[in-house]
Amino acid sequence: MRRIAVPLPLYCFLILLAVAGPVQTQTYELPPCTRAEFRTIFDQIAENQLEFGMTISSVDDLLDFARTRIENREDDPPDAPLCADAFAYQRLIAELTGDFIGRTALELGDVPAVENPYRLHLESDQERIEDLAARMLNIDRSKAPPPSERSTSKCARDQLIELEDMLAEFLTLLGADPAETIPAIDALLRWRDEHISQAPMCSAGIELVLLLSAVATDAAAMHALATVAPDEEHPYESPLAENEDRLREWRTQLEERRARYSAESSTTYAALPACSLTELADAYDKLMPEYTDLLQRGRQTTSASDLQGYSEAYIDYRRTNLAHLPACAEAFAAAWEVRQLLGDLISGAAQDMLATPASDDPFSDRLEEGSEQAARMIDSMASQLEDAGGALGATVVETAAACNRAELLLLGAYLLPEFRDFGEAALSTVNSDGVFKLTDRSLYFRDMLWRELPRCAEAIELGLVMRRVAADFIAMLWLEAADLPVDEIPQLQAVIEDMTWLLVRAEEIDAGSAAAVSSGKTYYISAGRGANIRACGSTDCAIVTTLPNGQKIDVADDSGAWYQVNLPNNQVGYIASFLVSNSPPTS
């Protein structure tokens, strides 16, 4: 597949949003190590350069070397400081040890260098060590915080989802029965190098990342050792089994944390009101019968020209009908499902024309499920209207309630950065594998947007446009792959218009969010032992952080028994009102 020749204006908009968007996402990088810590780590790097330069010429020697290294790490686990250089070094040394063992095992088994995954995909041990050392030498340590002042950020909801998805994917890979050893090793090394560096560095992520890296490395090394010593008792079997159990425990913990976050945040963000009968009637009239006609037409497309005509009709339908639905729950949900289904029919039909194998087609099951879901929603509307017998009454509300500060922060600090990440991924898509990955990313983003989008005016306004761009961009790629000339793809102009609007509107919302952040009142912690800041207004909610007595805090809302507190990095917390005062406590 060629890279789609998107005209320069669209790339400019995507670059602006991805690289210099109006709202900056929060980062969770570890702080640099102090100069003293760095010197210690650098000395250890020099020692390891000698170790990985050694030569092992027999299987027995290699097994002895592996046993010794595993015993050493179990008897004396690293007590590394919580800083970036130490984390990078700890991970690299663990990987280098396992990779050295695995690579040597395959070489002793006479696997050619051109087939050895360790040779094909990884730099030499010396190059990897030198690269780390060079990066460390270029870090400014003048502002490195001392160990006593370091802390890790609590994982946000989106980060827990990311960690849980990463862990689930790895456990699936780890549990697969390897038909061939070399491809199994290759898959583990590729997964490690593509995913580990992208994991969020929040409190839960740091420990999990090291564990995932160790298990991927050990599993690959064990496969390699099995090629030269199939009947031996391998030193990796026991630690791997233990670590797999730890990973499953982690998965359970992440699922529980994610569920707790959802429960704690459920009271923070507004929901759309249920539709009145008048609003149901208005929504139904705007959805039908054009929806049924478009659905049938989309399922019958067999050529690029058919898809072009269908795309034009769908874009017109969403502009004239879907854009003017009432702002109520049932109408919003039905329209969201209808947009998903009618838009993805384009990409699905293009893949059918390209004879994409069913196992690689991400749309087939989704289209079937989406069609059933949309039908249920629309049938439910019709049933309610039939039961009402024409007695409607209420007026139609076309605008949702304005977003509060917390909802604006969620939009600016989480959802818009996720959209920029999608834009960056779109810019780097150059072949058919990249299009499949971008398609999966678009589907993931849209599913996440449905779950997380606050149902308030500004969020709905931006969310619908972000959803539309994420779907239309994928449709463009698949239409181009189906040989529709780029200048005849209807979605192209729609995406350019949406991106133009989005850049302007996001800046306006960001300005409003910044004003809201700066409008808080100053209070002071007045509890002798300090006070807990919680995720919501109840002692049943999780503790976000603990602040010392006398700490100044910025309170956004002091109208109830629990005050809403503005925390650093666009976070929101709650504190019991009796734990604060208007003036600092006297000593």
Q: Strand 572-576 relative to strand 562-566: parallel, antiparallel, unpaired?
A: antiparallel
Contact call for residues 330 and 380 (beta carbons, < 8 A): yes
90, pLDDT greater than 60? yes
Give the span between the Cα atoms of 192 and 217, in whole angstroms: 8
Q: In this predicted model, what pLDDT tens digit does every residue of 274-327 receive, in sequence order?
A: 888 888 899 999 998 899 999 999 999 889 899 999 999 999 999 999 988 888
| The amino acid at 390 | G
Select from 357, 335, 499 the least CA-distant residue to 422.
499
Ramachandran angles phi, psi of 232, nearest 5°: -80, 155
Taking the complete model, does pTM exceed 0.85, yes or no?
no
Measured CA to CA, the distance from residue 335 to residue 373 in angstroms comes to: 11
In tens, the pLDDT along 120-154 reads: 866 676 677 777 777 777 777 877 888 777 766 66
Computed on alpha carbons and rounded to an integer, the radius of gyration of the chain in Å comes to 28
What single-letter amino acid sits at 574?
Answer: Y
Cα–Cα distance measured from residue 200 to residue 160, given in angstroms and rounded to the nearest whole number: 9
**Segment 234-244, tens digit of pLDDT:** 788 888 888 88
Structure tokens at 274: 């249920």
Structure tokens at 485: 């000339």
Q: Which residues are CB-neighbours of 233 under 8 A, at least 6 positions away?
A: none
CB-CB contact of 554 with 521 (8 Å): yes
CB 442 within 8 A of CB 429: no
Phi, psi of 565 (to 5 degrees): -110, 135
Tell me what the mean pLDDT of segment 535-551 comes to.
81
pLDDT score of 12: 42
Domains, the chain: 31-265 (no CATH), 277-515 (no CATH), 521-581 (2.30.30.40)
Q: What is the DSSP letter of 358?
A: G
DSSP secondary structure string for all residues of 170-227: HHHHHHS--SSHHHHHHHHHHHHHHHGGGS--SHHHHHHHHHHHHHHHHHHHHHHHHH
The residue type at 531: A
The whole-number pLDDT of residue 334 equals 92
- Cβ 535 vs Cβ 264: under 8 Å: yes
59 exposed, middle or buried (CB, 10 Å; 0-12, 13-18, 19+)? middle
CA torsion, ordered 565, 568, 572, 576, to nearest 10 deg: -30
- For 243-279, letters b (16+ CB in 10 Å) and e give beeebeebbeebeebbebbeebbeebbbebeebbbbb
Task: Map residue 557 onto helix, strand or coil.
Answer: strand
Q: How confident is the model at residue 231 (pLDDT cuts 50, 70, 90)?
A: confident
CA atoms within 13 A on the CB side of 506: 30
Question: Is residue 511's pLDDT more than 70?
Answer: no
pLDDT at 6 (0 to 100)? 45
pLDDT top residue among 361 and 382: 382
Alpha helices, H only, 266-328: 277-287, 290-299, 304-320
